[in-house]
């Protein structure tokens, strides 16, 4: 083959492919990002059909009846009286004093530090612990 023929064939193929090229333009589908507003309902129904989490029909959402609120309030007052009585029995009228105390499964250590009065509380059943620091002079 002649070099002129090969060059002509390549030139013709180049013109053919460049003539069929088209520009790519992105058009968003979602109306929130500039897409057509008529797509909104279709996108919403598609998303709802794929949603695996269904909303519960509990309309009360944490609202308690008068009886439930009364029961909760009564329990709170009884527990407050019991804890107050235990506090008075264990610590007397002087309040918190340094030492180690045990209330059932709760182990309480009270000591002074440079931060103030430190109260360490340990639940020996679960291993949970908490620390309360009462700032002092």
Q: Which residues, listed in sequence order, are joined to residue 107 by a DSSP beta bridge?
A: 102, 122
Q: What is the pLDDT of residues 65-116, one digit of tens each?
A: 888 888 888 888 888 888 787 777 766 777 777 888 887 888 889 888 888 8
Sequence spans of domains, the chain? 100-136
pLDDT digits (tens, 9 = 90+) for 19-29: 565 677 888 88
Please report the pLDDT score of residue 128 as a whole number: 92
Most confident of 52-56, 101-105, 126-130: 126-130
């Amino acid at each position: 083959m002649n070099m002129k023929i090969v060059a002509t064939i390549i030139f013709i193929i180049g013109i053919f492919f460049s003539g069929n090229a088209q520009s790519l333009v992105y058009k968003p589908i979602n109306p929130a990002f500039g897409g057509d507003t008529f797509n909104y309902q279709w996108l919403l129904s598609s998303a709802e059909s794929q949603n695996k989490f269904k909303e519960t029909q509990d309309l009360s959402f944490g609202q308690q009846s008068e009886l439930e609120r009364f029961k909760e309030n009564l329990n709170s007052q009884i527990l407050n009286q019991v804890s107050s009585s235990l506090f008075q029995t264990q610590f007397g009228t002087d309040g918190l004093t340094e030492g180690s105390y045990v209330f059932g499964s709760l182990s309480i250590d009270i000591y002074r530090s440079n931060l103030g009065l430190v109260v360490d509380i340990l639940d020996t059943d679960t291993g949970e612990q908490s620390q309360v620091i009462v700032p002092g002079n």
